Amino acid sequence: MKLVRFGPPGEEKPGLLDADGVLRDLSGIIPDVAGAVLLDEELQRIRDLDHAALPAVEGSPRLGPCIGQVGKIACIGLNYSDHAAETGMEVPREPILFMKATSAITGPDDGIEIPRTSEKTDWEVELAVVIGKQAKYVSEDDAMSHVAGYCVINDVSERDFQAKRKGQWVKGKSADTFGPLGPWFVTRDEIADPQDLKLWCSVNGDMRQDGSTKTMVYGVSFLVSYLSQFMSLQPGDIIATGTPPGVGLGMDPQTFLKPGDVVELGVEGLGTQRQVVRAAE
């Protein structure tokens, strides 16, 4: 099942893509694609509806972030062995964890804003895991029961802010528009194996990233269990699981985004994003 949020920024309504790809309005059924709606029993209630009887949405409305009211975005660094190699860093013995501010979240096609003073804004296509049931001290065997589903996230990064401005990576990860999320939230039953999905990203039509979640160092079930040892994961929380090789930081010469660039990216089964890059005003 594919759920979306559509409408102007801050006024998004919940929706569903039916089997024929028709956008249906769910606002009479649920308040948002968020929080307790992501529990298994609530998702099953939506799944059991007569989707053809739901109101069809006319036109082509803007798609907002596919998950609303996100409490936190937990991000995993250097989680692809081939990406670690391109950055000249060792594969970590434990997952590297950093946070991305939720104010960075934006719709999948809303565009990327290069921050003032930035010279190294970079792209990172990633598989995002959406938590459905609170996870606290869960085992790896039980971890997947706490996953509601998946979506695409572009973990946009400012490399100088991240590496040279002291302190934590969060500085380089959290500018406004640095978290395009969507287009759809896909429930976990539709993804047979999250460790066998293709990921890709192009800039101005040139393929930059072409990878697979097969090369993740730490898989989804491990990450959910691991993170739950340090903090509780709440319904609607996001785990950004890392990026494959092909980022601008790893190119020779290094190449970064500039106003007017077009970034397109996607994850197999989870849809695609398209962002036009602009300078901050």
CATH number, residue 236: 3.90.850.10
Check whether residue 203 and residue 95 sit in a common domain.
Answer: yes
**Same domain, residue pair 151 and 201:** yes
Q: Which of 72-86, 169-183, 192-206 has the lowest average pLDDT?
A: 72-86
User: Is 18 part of any domain?
Assistant: yes
The confidence band for 89, taking pLDDT boundaries of 50, 70 and 90, is low
The pLDDT score that the predictor gives to residue 272 is: 98
Q: How confident is the model at residue 22 (pLDDT cuts 50, 70, 90)?
A: very high
Asked if 91 and 15 sit in the same domain, the reply is: no
The pLDDT value given to residue 78: 86
Q: Over range 250-263, report the average pLDDT.
A: 96
Domain count, the chain: 2
SS3 42: helix
Residue 46 structure tokens: 């939506």
Segment 198-212 shows an average pLDDT of 97
Query: ω before 253 within 30° of 0 (cis)?
Result: yes
Computed over every residue of the chain, the mean pLDDT equals 95
pLDDT at 187 over 90: yes
Are residues 39 and 129 located together in one domain of the fold? no
Query: Band of the pLDDT at 82, cuts 50, 70, 90?
Result: confident
pLDDT at position 231 over 80: yes
| Residue with more model confidence, 86 or 150 | 150
- 183 and 217 part of one domain: yes
- Where residue 32 falls among pLDDT bands split at 50, 70, 90? very high
Any bridge partners for residue 8, and if so which? Answer: none
Looking at the structure, tell me whether residues 84 and 203 fall in a common domain: yes
100-112 confidence digits (pLDDT tens): 999 999 999 999 9
pTM of this structure: 0.96
54, 24 Cβ separation under 8 angstroms: yes
Instruction: Say if 269 falls within a structural domain.
Output: yes
**Which helix H or strand E contains 74, and what residues bound it?**
strand 73-77
> Does residue 187 sit in the same domain as residue 236?
yes
In 3-state terms, what secondary structure has residue 81? helix
- Rounded mean pLDDT of 263-280? 98
pLDDT in tens, 67-81: 999 999 999 998 997
- Residue 192 sits in the same domain as residue 128: yes
Residue 209 confidence (pLDDT) above 80: yes
What is the per-residue pLDDT across 130-160, written as a single tens digit (0 to 9) for each? 999 999 999 999 999 999 999 999 999 999 9
Domain that holds residue 31: 2-53
Q: Is residue 191 part of a domain?
A: yes
Nearest to 104 by CA among 181, 35, 162, 164: 181
The conformation of residue 56, written as its DSSP 8-state character, comes to B
For residue 61, being part of any structural domain is answered with: no
Q: Is residue 66 part of a domain?
A: no
Same domain, 43 and 134: no
Evaluate whether residue 186 is within a structural domain.
yes
Same domain, yes or no: 147 and 236? yes
Residue 3 has pLDDT above 70, yes or no: yes
Cα separation, 183 vs 217, in Å, equals: 26
Is residue 160, in this structure, part of any structural domain at all?
yes
21 pLDDT higher than 70: yes
CB 180 within 8 Å of CB 113: no
pLDDT at residue 84, as a whole number: 66
**pLDDT in the model for residue 281:** 87
Question: Would you say residue 60 lies in a domain?
Answer: no
Do residue 47 and residue 100 come from a single domain? no
Give the pLDDT of residue 5.
Answer: 98
- Nearest Cα residue to 135 out of 122, 144, 127: 144
Residue 71 Ramachandran class (φ > 0 left, ψ -120 to 50 alpha, else beta): alpha
